[in-house]
């Protein structure tokens, strides 16, 4: 289980996270929807530990990890724009976490077949389509055998038709892990295809919603109020 409680993060006067709390059970995918600049990436970076928070705590399976280093949190993280290593092959990218003593060669085959990457292992990221780069980024995060998975707009480069095909597959893969998953998007349709539960981020707050239609309403109101760009 992943729990965040009263997270606060400010950049100068800008309070990007203003007492954000959430809880995700194992095997559930919570999608956070929000406009650009609403603090979604900041929230994920605070949970990973890459970015220190000003207040609040992060718990994984009941353990307070707020003061642990990122590599000690057992979090799988797909950063925005995938951040693959272009000089490494797909295979080398996937097993990268071995350098930090994570993952095991036994898990490699399972991850490769789960994401249909068998024929691509000796290619470099630049030789792949956006869809396959997203698969590799997810495979790399899965290989580290995380207790929690965080994905920051992993399919932004991908066109709509392709997303409609990939999202149900990603959802199935993520459910198989039986860990809490936090998935970020600015696209309510994408949210609908991958999520079990939904929340909207705005004004530094996280608001739980029942359906993605509510996200459309809230985001429309935010755009009319002049916040960010959809
Ligand atoms: N290192 C930083 N220093 C100052 N402001 C930042 C920094 N990183 C992000 N911000 C600001 O914090 C807000 C939230 O950014 P971010 O979390 O990246 O939003 P999102 O991922 O929802 O687009 C934005 O207004 C952004 O300009
Ligand atoms: Mg972002």
User: Is the shortest distance between the CB of 79 and ligand 1 below 6 Å?
Assistant: no
Ligand 2 centre and the CA of 165: distance in Å? 23
Residues in CB range of 178: below 8 A, 6 or more apart: 26, 27
What is the DSSP pairing of strand 29-33 with strand 181-185?
Answer: parallel
Kindly report the protein residue whose alpha carbon is nearest to atom 3 of ligand 1: 11
Ligand 2 centre and the CA of 3: distance in Å? 20
Q: What is the pLDDT of residues 201-220, one digit of tens each?
A: 998 999 999 888 888 888 88
Alpha-carbon gap, residue 138 to 27, rounded angstroms: 16
- Residue 230's pLDDT is 44
Which of 213, 184, 152, 140 lies closest to 31 in space, CA to CA? 184
| 6 vs 102, residue with greater confidence | 6
For residue 153, give the ligand 1 atom closest to its CA: 21
Alpha-carbon gap, residue 199 to 32, rounded angstroms: 5
Largest CA distance in the chain: 52
**pLDDT averaged over every residue in the chain:** 92
Ligand closest to 33 (CA) is 1
**pTM higher than 0.75:** yes
What is the DSSP pairing of strand 148-152 with strand 181-185?
Answer: parallel
Per CATH, the number for 1-74+147-230 is 3.40.50.300
Q: Please check whether residue 183 is in contact with residue 151, taking contact to mean a CB–CB distance below 8 angstroms.
A: yes
User: Is the shortest distance between the CB of 20 and ligand 1 below 6 Å?
Assistant: no
Delimit the domains of the chain by residue range: 1-74+147-230, 83-145
Q: What is the pLDDT of residues 138-175, one digit of tens each?
A: 999 999 999 999 999 999 878 888 899 889 999 999 99
């Amino acid at each position: 289980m992943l729990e965040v409680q009263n997270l606060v993060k400010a950049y100068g006067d800008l309070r990007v996270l203003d007492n954000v709390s959430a809880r995700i059970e194992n095997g559930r995918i919570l999608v956070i929807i929000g406009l650009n600049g609403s603090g979604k990436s900041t929230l994920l970076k605070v949970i990973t530990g890459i970015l220190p928070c000003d207040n609040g705590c992060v718990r994984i399976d009941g353990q307070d990890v707020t003061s642990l280093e990122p590599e000690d949190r057992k979090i799988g993280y797909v950063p925005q724009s995938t951040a693959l290593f272009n000089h490494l092959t797909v295979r080398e990218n996937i097993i990268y976490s071995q350098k930090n003593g994570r993952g095991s060669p036994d898990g490699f085959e399972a991850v490769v077949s789960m994401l249909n990457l068998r024929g691509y292992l000796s290619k470099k990221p630049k030789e792949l389509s956006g869809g396959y780069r997203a698969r590799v980024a997810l495979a790399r995060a899965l290989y580290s055998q995380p207790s929690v998975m965080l994905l920051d707009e992993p399919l932004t480069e991908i066109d709509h038709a392709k997303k409609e095909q990939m999202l149900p597959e990603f959802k199935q893969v993520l459910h198989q892990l039986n860990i809490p998953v936090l998935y970020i998007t600015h696209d309510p349709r994408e949210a609908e295809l991958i999520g079990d539960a939904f929340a909207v981020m705005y004004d530094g707050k996280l608001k739980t919603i029942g359906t993605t239609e509510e996200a459309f309403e809230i985001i429309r109101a935010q755009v009319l109020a002049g916040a960010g760009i959809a």
